[in-house]
Amino acid sequence: MRSTFLALLSLFAGTIVLPAQDVDRNDGPRFDDRPAAAGEWGFRPADGAAIEVNPPAFSWRPQEGAGWYQLQLTRHASFDRQPIYEHHTPRIRGAAPWTVLCLEEPLDAGRWYWRVRARRQDEAAPPTQYSEVRSFVVPGGVATFALPARGELLERIPARHPRLFVRPEQREALRTAAEGALQPARDALLARCRHALENPAPTDEPPKYPAGTVRGSEPWREIWWGNRRRTIAVLEPAADLAFAWWLTGDETYRDAAKQRLLAAAEWDPKGATGYRYNDEAGMPYAFHFARTYTFLHAALTDDERARCRDVLTIRGREIYAHLCPNHLWKPYSSHSNRAWHFLGEVGIALHGEVEEADDWTWFAANVFTAVYPVWSDADGGWHEGTAYWRSYLGRFTWWADVMREALGLDAYRKPFFSRVGDFALYTMPPGTRGGGFGDLCGRLDSGGGAALVGLFAQQADDPHWQWYASAHEARQGTGFVDFLRAARGAPAATPPIDLPTSKLFAGTGIAALNSSLLDGTDNVGIRFKSSPFGSQSHGYEAQNAFLLQAYGERLLIRSGRRDSYGSEHHREWMWSTRSVNSLTVDGQGQTPHSASAKGTITRFETTPHLDLVTGDATAAYGGRLELFERSLVFAKPDLLLVVDSVRAAEPRQLTWWFHAEQPFTLDPEDHAAHLEVGAATATLHFLGHDGLTLKQTDRFEPPPRPRIELVEHHLTVTPNEPLRSIELVTAIDIGRSRASTPARLVRVLEPDGQGLEATLHDGRILRVNQSDTGSLRAILLDVDGSPLAEVGARD
């Protein structure tokens, strides 16, 4: 490892190799080593962790009164042998110090140990004692992503404009390509620009909220979202026009871009489009303005440049003050997870022109390296769901392009991006309607994310993701970013016939079970959630909930429709356990919209014919249950068994909830409900308890606002008396409308516990039993009696 020592007052981190006898003077205040609470990033690398990217980024709890931090790193747990590497965080004038540290070079493979302490603003005050010693392992061959030193990184930014997405020296090559291979993309861009010229948006400043406007109300929403649209309508075409001028030299584009830019520069930077006043308008203003400014820089006078710099500086300061350093320790704010890289664009655009702009760029680079992505780990899932996966990662790809060109950093080296396309492939195979769990996912179709998956396929050279994009004939954009991306080649497309049809996204607690990845209209898909993220942010659905899709239809759904974020319907219905296919206790659900309402997927097995997933949602009920364990056994594609084990310290009134777009046909005597939606059917058989009451309603409590016309159906299944424990099996026979032979379900009692046997549509036999210890075992037999698959406990 390279060892350099930089002065403590430097704006850079420093590294020094210390003699062993100089490293253990721990007589100051104790270091606050409390584990991370809900919403906090935590100590990283965690003790005993095997890191996923080398070098790891270090993170620790902020310490009261800290001026800067010393971090020590060694190969020896006792810190009593050389070498010991010491790193110093930046000392930030007038601000709290950062609580992350990114190394400049990878570490050798093997086990390492680290600890950290705080130094005080007052140099005479004693430092804290060191934190606990934590260890981590660097596996051989792990992916590498190192952040260069601040000075080195900033030197990579071009001295001349433009600096975002392209470098000034690339223009001639792009002009040549625009007359050749990129001509179709150029023509599409220029057609877009001509449309903007012919249909100019009004450039008057958007309005503020009138006095007395209630936040979240319909009048508030109209201005809040309307101002975002007005801002984008002015500045997004301005960036395209400015780029078109830079590329072609056509002064018509230059003049139109300049008019829009300077008109927007007159808007109050802390007014209706200010970041803190309305971040949905403030964020697009910041990055679109920065892009237009950098492309148009050579066409602006000194006074015009100064005016633009003043506007961007005020807006950049406001974003930076909101994010830094709090976002480094508490990064689970949804909007902040795009604001930081928009700030990075502003910083790069103003490099060398506004002194503090380099702080913004350096901050954004550290956020990416140390605390991104927050809603997943390396498995490629996304806690906030498919809609926000598309939205936020689509915007992030802009920053990835900017980092590559301006900073020489390849974002796609992070392991997350080597698996990111799987989330769309598994949760929404081509032809799927409905995006699974997460806000705004109910009405999605699979084609909406195809272009983004195609972009990821280019970066990762993944043939299966390219197949996904090609299967949708993904429509390409026509903006300047799309022109630049058109130069990249795509891998050959390969259908995912060699992949398992089901996958667990462990970091987000989402299991996607499928009978086929090739065609959503020929697939039976099940989504199951039991998440370590809880129900925070836009991933608000309760734990141990599941969804059922079949043959292109949504059968069992998550109900409700967001009319406005945080509205009465959104908050009281959609954030409630009642809105999903899960369980309420004494009329109450899990702790709503909370990072503490966690679930855990404790088992996942997949085979070509049979899947098993088990989740534990006990902790999400705030102590009202001693156990809520749910197992799903999926005999592909005909039968889903939902096996619920519930236990409480005292009798509880339990209610199972199921939701659909169409009404259920109830058979109370047989404890069954039938559902038909388009081409698909499902019959639910409730087994294991004799006294059950089935009820159905189409009422929401409370309903969405009147502008939302929505009818959905809600089935409840309730034991006739409070219970301390119950084992309930919901056997769901899945088929095509007017085409299926119902599965024959036979309850049997085996010596080692309760069991079930089912003969499937094609004659295969599924046998499931649950032992006294609660372990589940499932065997699927072919029509000739030979075993096809086995999942679950082998004891």
- Name the H helices within 273-356: 279-296, 302-323, 326-329, 336-349
- At 527-536, the pLDDT tens digits run 999 999 999 9
Q: Is residue 92 pLDDT above 90, yes or no?
A: no
Per-residue confidence band for 265, with pLDDT thresholds at 50, 70 and 90: very high
* Cβ contact 333:339 at 8 Å: no
Across the strands, what pairs with 102?
57
Q: Which comes out higher in pLDDT, residue 475 or 414?
A: 414
Mean pLDDT of 687-695: 94
Average of pLDDT values for 230-257? 98
> Region 270-294: what's the mean pLDDT?
98
Q: What is the pLDDT averaged over residues 528-552?
A: 97
Among 541-555, 612-626, 639-653, 753-767, which stretch is predicted with the lowest mean pLDDT? 753-767
Mean pLDDT of the chain: 93
pLDDT at 637: 96
Confidence of residue 774 (pLDDT cuts 50, 70, 90): confident
With cut-offs at 50, 70 and 90, classify the pLDDT of residue 382: very high
Answer with the residue of higher pLDDT: 259 or 747: 259
Q: What secondary structure does DSSP assign to 422-438, as a single string?
A: HHHHHHS-TT-BS--SS
Per-residue pLDDT, averaged over 738-760, amounts to 69
Dihedral class, residue 774 (left if φ above 0, else alpha if ψ from -120 to 50, else beta): left
Q: What is the pLDDT of residue 5?
A: 27
Q: Does residue 124 register a pLDDT over 90? A: no
**8 A C-beta contact, residue 375 and residue 383:** yes
What percentage of residues in the chain have a pLDDT greater than 70? 95
Quote the pLDDT of residue 10: 32
State the pLDDT at residue 190: 98
Mean pLDDT over 419-447 rounds to: 95
The pLDDT-based confidence of 279 (bands split at 50, 70, 90) is: very high
Residue 11 has pLDDT above 50, yes or no: no
Mean pLDDT of the region 480-495: 95
Mean pLDDT of 685-701: 95
CA atoms within 13 Å, Cβ hemisphere of 12: 16
Average pLDDT of 432-459? 94
pLDDT score, position 744: 74
Q: Quote the pLDDT of residue 18.
A: 54
Q: What pLDDT sits at residue 20?
A: 45
Query: Which pLDDT band, with edges at 50, 70 and 90, does 9 fall under?
Result: very low
Look at residue 709 and tell me whether its pLDDT is greater than 60: yes
Residue 795 confidence class, pLDDT cut points 50, 70, 90: low
pLDDT at 15 over 70: no
The dihedral sign for the CA sequence 185, 187, 193, 196: negative
pLDDT at position 771, please?
73
Of the two residues 754 and 279, the one the predictor is more confident about is 279
Whether the predicted pLDDT of 93 surpasses 80: no
**pLDDT of 22 over the 60 cut:** no
Question: pLDDT-derived band of residue 4, with 50, 70 and 90 as boundaries?
Answer: very low
Least confident of 23-32, 72-81, 361-370, 598-607: 23-32
Q: pLDDT of 291-347, one tens digit each?
A: 999 999 999 999 999 999 999 999 999 999 999 999 999 999 999 999 999 999 999
Q: What does the block give as tokens for 424?
A: 């769309």
pLDDT band, residue 8 (cuts 50/70/90): very low
Of 419, 427, 325, which is closest to residue 384 (Cα–Cα)?
427
Q: Is the pTM of this model over 0.85?
A: yes
Given this model, what pLDDT does residue 1 score? 35
| 477/398 Cα distance (integer angstroms) | 13
Residues 210-220 have a mean pLDDT of 96
Contact 421, 504 (CB under 8 A): no
Peptide bond into 148 cis (omega under 30): no
CA distances, 113 to each of 14, 79, 333 (Å): 18, 8, 31
pLDDT band at 25 (very low <50, low <70, confident <90, very high): low
Q: Of 272, 291, 266, give the one whose Cα is nearest residue 230.
A: 272
Res. 123: pLDDT tops 90: no
For the chain, percent helix, then strand, then coil, each to nearest 5? 30, 25, 45
Residue 17 — very low, low, confident or very high, per pLDDT cuts 50/70/90? Answer: low
* Model pLDDT, residue 755: 82
**Region 579-604 average pLDDT:** 97
Q: Environment class of residue 22 by beta-carbon count within 10 Å: exposed (0-12), middle (13-18) or buried (19+)?
A: exposed
For residue 726, the number of C-alpha atoms closer than 13 Å in the C-beta half-sphere is 28
